[in-house]
Chain A
């Protein structure tokens, strides 16, 4: 998407809540996000989830694509050290996020638009807190007119 088109996307979203794409994991962080809902913990309706088997499977290009197409930010709800597949998952995921941030920076986007935190299957409140904080940061970026 061109820089003009990206500007259009963010202009269209003015006045709406920041839109956050969450990459969760089927067995670890997605149950934690479910638990937040089961406990009726409120967070922004601009938060939408795509669940994958493992955080280490998130492609940096998906993160860049999401932001270029109109998401304000991408939150990686990581397996952390709990990953059932890969003992070095946290290390791998961290490298992938670094790669995504570099990719965004290169394309003129603020790398703060990507954030990662370990969310386990009981992390209902931490998830809610993380996405709410992230939404505030992204709202601030909007006000600053940041890409």
Chain B
């Protein structure tokens, strides 16, 4: 193994569990790259990001005196920082590390072509090795950040985030589209798990927000534009549609907590549209408003049939589990049982997901008389009116051998879940990606759960996916921590991947001076000759000056002419399928 070059590179090819190795022959990849010039160590690893794998890399770097590191795993958006950290802890320069994306841009895109995916992985890694062999040690650039944050959305997640950000000493702008703060929770009565009233919770949070001078609240307001860059954004906010002027605020981070909508059944879907068939939010409002026996349109409600998973876990529709609705329904049924009068409650479900401590509510609801019947996935309940105009719900109870059961009901509750809020304008102006479920995507669900691919834009609450209020608050506070970690320092580190001029080749034609809108390039005298000089702290690292130089005298660090050509050449050494 190993070439004759002066660089000593370690290469680690990740299985990512089976995310990569189910489609890419990782052992074959390692065998194909182990004799590449400069490669001293070549290994595969089940999870490159695991602590044990990182320790092994550090050990290898130190034992084999490596001076370059390549990890072929997921998108660089996820783990560039992780493995630069590994390099730094091992004592080598972090910028001698290259991450090769063989998951999002290989195994996941070619699940139909394992042979092609394997060739492509080899090709991409050869390119990564070539790039690494031409890296140079660099130090990060430091930029000052604006110690202010913008929170978009005044529901429970946004309110808690705004308070948290203010409490760590940041100025906060809170933008809410509606006239009032509070979102969904502000309309709820008693909520699980601690029987707190949603309206009271929100009133308390709003009072805390109003009591902090460092929080500026804009209601009836919308984010209309964003400019600037990481750490120093300018947000344009329209306050009240009648006012044409926009308010501009400078912020270092943006926290999106724009919430969710609820699934609205089609007319006729499980009888929706028939008098007495309601959705979960409609039912919750009824229960919250009741102090005496439960009634519907003045009629006493003595039997309720709940139909779970309406609008969720549907092939071709919302395929995800909305996860909060089981617990919310079970809790509502307990609230009904506490009301005066006797109500028979039948829960018709595919699966009950009252996870964690909410399992106790499930037990309590059964103790209070709720009956649970599991219907087969392919035989959902049917809702119809009988000849007398009474609601009848027919289901098959798999727990009693699939027996058909017909329940006369006064009320049918369709347990509807969360759906993504339509946010096209916001998506457009922030360019935030959404997943197949339509909710905003985090960078990594475990490791970077509130960060997005847009630096400095964080997500919290149910705009990211179905969450109950406790989980929404937790993610709001995670966004606070993430924001504070950057903004409290007052500075952020940026990659030192800036443009440089080879003075000896520069003819000072001046083309690069006009190409840079940041005035990062100026004339300077070197060895008695006038040449272009680039300020590392002013240069944004776009590389826009590189192609305009007729002498090929400008290079962008990390993306030099030699590196890009070497990557291309090395990729082509491996044939495609």
Contacts and interface: CB of A to CB of B under 8 A. Distances in A.
Interface in A32-89: 32-46, 48-54, 56-62, 65-66, 69-71, 82-87, 89
24 contacts: A13-B575, A16-B576, A19-B572, A28-B431, A31-B75, A35-B441, A37-B103, A38-B108, A38-B435, A38-B441, A39-B435, A48-B120, A48-B571, A51-B76, A54-B544, A59-B547, A61-B552, A66-B568, A83-B542, A92-B544, A96-B547, A120-B431, A121-B454, A122-B434
Contact of A42 (B110, B433, B517, B547): B110
A60 B107 CA distance: 30
B575 to A, nearest CB: 6
B544 A52 contact: no
A84 to B, nearest CB: 6
B517 to A, nearest CB: 6
Contacts of A66: 568
B565 interface: yes
Contacts of A86: 517, 542, 544
Contacts of A28: 431
Interface stretch (B111-119, B163-171, B336-344, B358-366): B111-119
B101 A49 contact: yes
Contact of B547 (A17, A19, A37, A58): A58
A87 B517 contact: yes
Contacts of B433: 31-32, 35, 121-122
Contacts of B119: 45
Nearest to B498: A53
B569 interface: yes
B121 to A, nearest CB: 9
A34 B101 contact: yes
B542 A85 contact: yes
Given A32-B433, A57-B543, 8 more contacts: A34-B77, A37-B103, A40-B111, A42-B111, A42-B113, A46-B120, A48-B123, A57-B559
Interface in A1-45: 12-13, 16-17, 19, 21, 26-28, 30-45
Contact of B109 (A30, A32, A41, A82): A41
Interface string B510-522: 0000000100000
Nearest to B556: A57
A16 B542 contact: no
Contacts of A17: 116, 576-577
B427 interface: yes
Contacts of A121: 431-433, 453-454
B431 A122 contact: yes
Contact of A37 (B105, B431, B497, B568): B105
Contacts of B295: none
Interface in B90-134: 101, 103-113, 116-117, 119-120, 123-124, 127
Contact of A69 (B104, B111, B569): B569
B567 interface: yes
A27 B556 contact: no
A100 B453 CA distance: 30
Interface of A: 12-13, 16-17, 19, 21, 26-28, 30-46, 48-54, 56-62, 65-66, 69-71, 82-87, 89, 92, 96, 99, 120-122
Contacts of B572: 19, 69-71
A80 to B, nearest CB: 11
B436 interface: yes
A27 B543 contact: no
Contacts of A50: 127, 564, 567-568
Nearest to B431: A121
Shortest Cβ-Cβ A-B pairs, 6 listed: A57-B543, A45-B116, A85-B542, A37-B104, A37-B108, A34-B104
Nearest to A46: B576
A27 B109 contact: no
Nearest to B114: A45
B454 A13 contact: no
Given A31-B77, A86-B542, A122-B432, A49 B556 contact: no
A57 B109 contact: no
A53 B117 CA distance: 26
A45 B431 contact: no
A16 B105 contact: no
B225 to A, nearest CB: 13
A37 B109 contact: yes
Contact of B104 (A16, A33, A46, A120): A33
Contacts of B434: 122
Contacts of A30: 75, 77
Contacts of B517: 86-87
B85 interface: no
Given A48-B571, A122-B432, A19 B576 contact: yes
Given A31-B77, A50-B127, A86-B542, A71 B568 contact: yes
A69 B566 CA distance: 11
A71 B105 CA distance: 18
Contacts of B427: 122
A86 B105 CA distance: 26
A48 B575 contact: no
B568 A69 contact: yes
